[in-house]
């Protein structure tokens, strides 16, 4: 009977040792995966921060260009020049249409005579 108890005890100890080793390996693996996930998270966060910094820098540069152009008066003169060009183009189109309309009105249009059978 004691041999049976001894065998059961040895089996139990062996089982607990195996379970403990498997648990330790799983815990080690889980810790490793957790560390990798944290590392990836930090890398992604740094990339996102860098992208945000770059975008902010580009926006600031564009704003500075616009302000510089507006302060120098070039922007206003460019807008006035564009408006004048558009006005001239519109005026020349109107003149062309009126000229074509006058020419068409001055032409004698022949009304076809009906064919007699």
The verdict on residue 49 lying in a domain is: yes
The verdict on residue 13 lying in a domain is: yes
pLDDT of residue 82: 92
Of 63, 80, 83, 60, the closest CA to residue 71 belongs to 63
The verdict on residue 106 lying in a domain is: no
pLDDT of residue 57: 95
Print the domain residue range for 58.
Answer: 2-101
Check: pTM over 0.85? Answer yes or no.
Answer: no
The verdict on residue 94 lying in a domain is: yes
pLDDT in tens, 93-105: 999 999 998 888 8
* Number of domain units in the chain: 1
61, 55 contact by CB (below 8 A): no
pLDDT of residue 6: 52
pLDDT in tens, 41-90: 999 999 999 999 999 999 999 999 888 877 777 777 888 899 999 999 99
The verdict on residue 53 lying in a domain is: yes
Residues 6+ apart with CB under 8 A from 23: none
Q: Which long-range contacts (CB under 8 A, 24 or more apart) does 57-65 make?
A: none
């Amino acid at each position: 009977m004691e041999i049976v108890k001894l065998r059961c005890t040895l089996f139990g100890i062996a089982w607990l040792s195996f379970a403990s080793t498997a648990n330790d390996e799983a815990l080690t693996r889980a810790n490793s995966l957790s560390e990798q996930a944290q590392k990836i998270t930090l890398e992604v966060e740094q990339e996102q921060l860098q992208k945000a910094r770059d975008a902010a820098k580009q926006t600031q540069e564009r704003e500075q260009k616009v302000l510089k152009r507006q302060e120098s008066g070039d922007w206003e003169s460019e807008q006035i020049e564009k408006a004048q060009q558009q006005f001239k183009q519109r005026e020349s189109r109107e003149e062309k249409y009126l000229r074509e309309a006058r020419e068409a009105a001055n032409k004698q249009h022949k009304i076809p005579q009906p064919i007699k059978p």
